[in-house]
Amino acid sequence: MSADDLDYTRPTRSDKKQSAALEGVNGAVGIRNGAQCANFLVDQNTVMFLLNSIPSTSGGSLFPTGPTLFKAARNGFCDPALSEAIRRFQQANGLKAGGVVDPGVPTSARLRALAHAPHPDSAGRGDEGLIQDIDTLAGVLLITAGKMSGSTEGAQFSAMSLEIQRSMAQSGITPQVTLQRGVIGGTLFENLAQIEALGTLLDALISGAIVGGLSGATGTLTEATLRPIRGTIRRALDLARRVRSNASGAVVEALGKMAQLAGQTKGACGPEVQVLLFQTSFLTSLLMQRTSSDPRGLARNIAGASREWLSAFSAAVLCLDDGGIPLLGAARAAFAGGMTLIGLLQQFLGAGELPQLART
């Protein structure tokens, strides 16, 4: 474990700002003159979110086909594709194109300003835009159902997707079930966050359309079409929040037990155990955030923290040798509907595979 690894503690000091998602960065993000910057995991996810909130016509990474699917952030390492996206944004906005976002400099301010700025979306594209976003939500519900295949919740998500498609078809609209790039490859937790973000937006837009009168360009949407769709969207929102909350609670409970066991370990592996305890505390703090203005950004942060936890867990178990058997047993023990802690981290949070050496 190097001193650079321990720098991961810094973002937690401003952890309360994460829910705002647009507070800027705590350390430099990018690659400067061939060298990696601080690249805190939370900061990288913030920059990705900002870039994906800005249309490509303004230098951002939001294309007509959907947001850019960046590689998952790794603490201390910025993927060259992200640094290049920063560089393109800077060039498009007349800024110094160094491929780095520093705290408090024009690039950071410009990213926040454009991410907040209104740009063409469902609210300004008439019926066509609203139909496209409803169609996208139906697709996300279907993908989420596939990832929860065999469960009651998965069947419910599938039924909701079909309800939305049926309502559209009855109004003469052919459902396309379009998917944003990254939906299929995202984690289940990220898909749930997408349902929350897009569902909340559509609920507000549909309610406004019903109250303010429908005046879409195509005239295909009517109140009789939108009311049942809105009802289905609200049920999908409730279910997504409930599934996410239950999964978070189960992981937090298991992490608490893991922390107790780790705190009781003795031997020469103090640094590894301390890193594991820190990563456990950090992941728990993210999972306990019940609300966020950027649920998708929070989901990405949680996925990254889960990978960091799994790495710390593996390092501690390997160092402890036979003394790590209780930790490994606790991670593999079934407790939540037959799921293990490792299973929950992999299925819901995208923590990846348990490293080979930690499976022995």
The b-or-e profile of 97-118 (16+ CB within 10 A means b, else e) is ebbbbbeeeebbebbbebbeee
Instruction: Name the DSSP letter for residue 31.
Output: E
Number of structural domains found in the chain: 3
Q: Say what the pTM is.
A: 0.56
The DSSP code sequence of 69-118 is -PPPPBTTB--HHHHHHHHHHHHHTTS---SEE-TTSHHHHHHHHHHHS-
- Say whether both 96 and 61 belong to one domain: yes
Residue 104 has phi, psi (to 5 degrees) of 70, 10
Answer with the one of 214, 243, 272 that is the final residue of a domain.
Answer: 243
Amino acid at position 99, single letter: G
Locus of tokens 């973000």: 197
Structure tokens at 125: 């594209």
- Residue at which a domain ends, from 116, 147, 162: 116
pLDDT tens-place string over residues 81-111: 999 999 999 999 999 999 999 987 788 888 8
Same domain, 110 and 143: no
> Are both 267 and 180 inside the same structural domain?
no
Query: Which residues have CB under 8 Å from 45's CB, separation 6+?
Result: 73, 297, 300, 301, 304
Whether residue 131 sits in one domain with residue 112: no
Cβ–Cβ under 8 Å, residues 189 and 247: yes
Instruction: Give the residue numbers spanning the domain of 77.
Output: 3-116
Task: Give yes or no: residues 106 and 153 share one domain.
Answer: no
Walk along the chain (360 residues) and give the pLDDT tens digit of each residue: 333 332 223 333 333 333 333 346 778 999 999 999 999 887 887 888 788 778 888 888 877 666 677 877 788 899 999 999 999 999 999 999 999 999 877 888 888 777 765 544 444 445 666 787 888 888 888 888 887 877 888 899 999 999 988 888 877 777 665 544 444 446 777 788 888 888 887 887 787 766 655 544 345 677 788 889 999 999 999 999 888 888 788 788 888 888 888 888 767 788 888 888 888 888 888 888 766 656 667 777 887 788 888 888 888 888 888 887 888 877 777 655 566 777 777 666 655 544 443 333
| Cα 27 from Cα 349, distance rounded (Å) | 25
Same domain, 143 and 228: yes
Q: In the numeric block, which tokens belong to residue 225?
A: 């079409």
- Token pair listed for 215: 């005046």
What is the C-alpha to C-alpha distance for residues 343 and 354, in angstroms, rounded to an integer?
10
Residues 322-353 pLDDT 10s? 887 888 877 777 655 566 777 777 666 655 54
Does residue 256 sit in the same domain as residue 182?
no
Distance separating alpha carbons of residues 209 and 214, to the nearest angstrom: 5
Domain boundary among 87, 116, 145: 116
In the DSSP assignment, the letter for residue 21 is: S
- The contacts of residue 125 (CB under 8 Å, 6+ apart) are 132, 217
Quick one: 140 and 228 in the same domain? yes
Q: Are residues 154 and 132 in the same domain?
A: yes
Q: Indicate if 192 and 260 belong to the same structural domain.
A: no
Instruction: State the Rg of the chain over Cα.
Output: 22
- Both 140 and 182 in one domain: the answer is yes
Domain shared by 112 and 126, yes or no: no
Beta partners for 286? none
